[in-house]
Structures are given as C-alpha cells and as structure tokens.
Amino acid sequence: MQEIRVYREIHGVNEEWAEKNRLLLAEHNVVMLNIIGSPGSGKTSLLEAASDRLSQSLKFAVLEGDVETTRDAERLHALNVPVSQLITGNACHLNAKLVHAGLSDLDLENLDLVIVENVGNLLCPSQFDIGETAKIAVLSVTEGEDKPIKYPLLFREASAVVLTKTDLLAYLPFNLDSCLGYIRQVNNEIPIFQVSATTGAGVDEWLDWVVKMRKR
Ligand SMILES: Nc1nc2c(ncn2[C@@H]2O[C@H](COP(=O)(O)OP(=O)(O)OP(=O)(O)O)[C@@H](O)[C@H]2O)c(=O)[nH]1
Ligand SMILES: [Mg+2]
C-alpha cells in the first residue's frame, strides 16, 4: 500500500527564538508588551498619544511590525521615540526570530520596556509567541462590538484590552455594553481601557497599567 506523507508546520523553531527573547529580556530586566489589533485599529496612534507621558515614567523603545514601509516607525521617530521597523514581507504576523533581530540592536541595558506593535491583524499574531511578557488587544469601536467573540483567541490570551476611538461612539451604532459583555464572555478577568487617541481620554489609565506591568 502507498504510504501517506504528512507535513506539519514546525512551530518549534519559533518557540526556540521566543525562548531566546525571553532570556535576553530577563537578563536585562526588560518587560516586552506585544500590541495586537486589526489594521487601522489605532495601535500607532495610541503609542503617539502615550509616548510623551510614558517617557516620563519609563525608559522604553518600540519595535514596529509591518508587512511593508517604515511609515509607523517614522511617526514615532518624529516624536523622539527610539524605534526600529520590522518588515515581514508578506507575513501577517511577527515571528520571534525577526523580533530577536530588533531586540538585539536595542540598548537593553538602558531600557525598562519594549513595546512591539505587531502587524495589523486580529488573528495571526496571537498564534505566534515572540517571547513577550504580555499581549495587549487593541479593538476600535469602528470594528463592531462582536469581534471579541468572533476572534476570541487574542482576547483570551491578552492581559489587557484597549478599546480605541471612543470619541466616535456618538456617531456609531456601536453597543458598548454588548462589546464589554462579549470581552468578559471570552476573558472574565481582563482589564478594559476605553481610550481616544484623538482627545487623550483614557490614555493615562492605560499607562498606569503599563507602568504597573513593568514594576510587577
Ligand atoms: N477618531 C479617531 N480616530 C483615530 C483614533 N486613533 C486612531 N485613529 C485614526 O485611525 C486611523 C488608523 O490609525 P493608526 O494608528 O495608523 O492604526 P494602526 O492600528 O496603527 O494601523 P496599522 O499599523 O496599519 O495596523 C488613522 O486615520 C487615525 O487617525 C482615535 O482615537 N479617534
Ligand atoms: Mg500602526
């Protein structure tokens, strides 16, 4: 009888690099946060709105993940944030090896925190461990309130949710209570921050959480 060949994706290789990242971060006592959300959900805008106050509390750098261009890195560079751009080519997520390349070039000895903005995608980045201390789920009110139950993996794995663009709530048929309920349905304990990068509302509350993560 003819044999059946089975080919399986080797996630083990990514795990090895993720472990190297964890060791590197631990060696320098640096926390790494992995920000994940749909394209355009407001990840870079959140960092822009937060960078000034965050730099008063912690020494931090950003690794920007994108399929193409250095646009997001340029936006943060313009605000004097130390930032590198990680380009994945066609991949819909960052892998641990690419993150390792970015981490290795940072002055980790003089940093408290590295924030990674993953490639805009609500599903794939959650499936790849990059050695982060915690994941942060970013969801904008323009995406619809049901996304936490339609794409539950990120919300299950995240340590916090940032609900962005709340300044637009008045103009959208977005049911905030339903959204909060759906997030709780997937992850009962998770802190949820309601934020507008445009008005600055809620940014400080989220930053308090970030600073606590570093001190923990
Ligand atoms: N009204 C409003 N618009 C926002 C807010 N935050 C971001 N935006 C807008 O949303 C769009 C996308 O914002 P980005 O910060 O580039 O989103 P992103 O998640 O970094 O996008 P990718 O990196 O491409 O995945 C831009 O036009 C922003 O101006 C907000 O709080 N309120
Ligand atoms: Mg961005």
- pLDDT, residue 10, reads 62
Q: How far is the CA of 7 from the centre of ligand 2 (A)?
A: 34
State yes or no: pLDDT of 151 exceeds 80.
yes
120 Cβ closer than 6 Å to some ligand 1 atom: yes
Which residue's alpha carbon is nearest to atom 3 within ligand 1? 165
The 10 Å Cβ neighbour count of residue 39 is 12
198 Cβ closer than 6 Å to some ligand 1 atom: yes
- Strands 60-66 and 160-164 come out as unpaired
Determine the atom of ligand 1 nearest the C-alpha atom of 197: 31
Closest Cα to residue 170, out of 136, 199, 203, 138? 199
The 10 Å Cβ neighbour count of residue 29 is 11
Closest Cα to residue 20, out of 82, 85, 104, 146? 104
72 Cβ closer than 6 Å to some ligand 1 atom: yes
6 vs 9: which has the higher pLDDT: 6
State yes or no: pLDDT of 168 exceeds 80.
yes
Closest Cα to residue 154, out of 135, 173, 169? 135
Residues of the chain above pLDDT 90, percent: 93
pLDDT digits (tens, 9 = 90+) for 9-53: 566 789 999 999 999 999 999 999 999 999 999 999 999 999 999
State yes or no: pLDDT of 143 exceeds 90.
yes
Rounded to whole angstroms, the Cα distance separating 47 from 28 reads 23
Look at the alpha carbons of 169, 53, 158, 71 in this order and tell me if their dihedral is positive or negative.
positive
34 Cβ closer than 6 Å to some ligand 1 atom: no
- Ligand 1 pocket test target in 36, 38, 45 with most atoms within 8 Å of CB: 45
pLDDT digits (tens, 9 = 90+) for 86-130: 999 989 999 999 999 999 999 999 999 999 999 999 999 999 999
**Are the beta carbons of 151 and 50 closer than 8 angstroms?**
no
- pLDDT, residue 1, reads 80
State yes or no: pLDDT of 179 exceeds 90.
yes
Per-residue b or e along 83-94, where b marks 16 or more CB atoms closer than 10 Å to that residue's CB? bbbbebeebbbb
45 Cβ closer than 6 Å to some ligand 1 atom: yes
- pLDDT, residue 6, reads 73
How many residues does the structure list for the chain? Answer: 216
Q: How far is the CA of 72 from the centre of ligand 2 (A)?
A: 5
- pLDDT, residue 216, reads 79
Q: How far is the CA of 15 from the centre of ligand 1 (A)?
A: 31
DSSP state of 196: -
In the chain, how long is the greatest CA-to-CA distance? Answer: 69
Q: How far is the CA of 2 from the centre of ligand 2 (A)?
A: 50
215 vs 171: which has the higher pLDDT: 171
State yes or no: pLDDT of 159 exceeds 90.
yes
pLDDT digits (tens, 9 = 90+) for 203-215: 999 999 999 999 8
Q: Which residues lie below 8 Å from residue 111, measured CB to CB, with a gap of 6+?
A: 28, 30, 59, 60, 61
- pLDDT, residue 11, reads 64
Range with lowest mean pLDDT among 1-5, 55-59, 67-71, 148-152: 1-5
- pLDDT, residue 95, reads 96
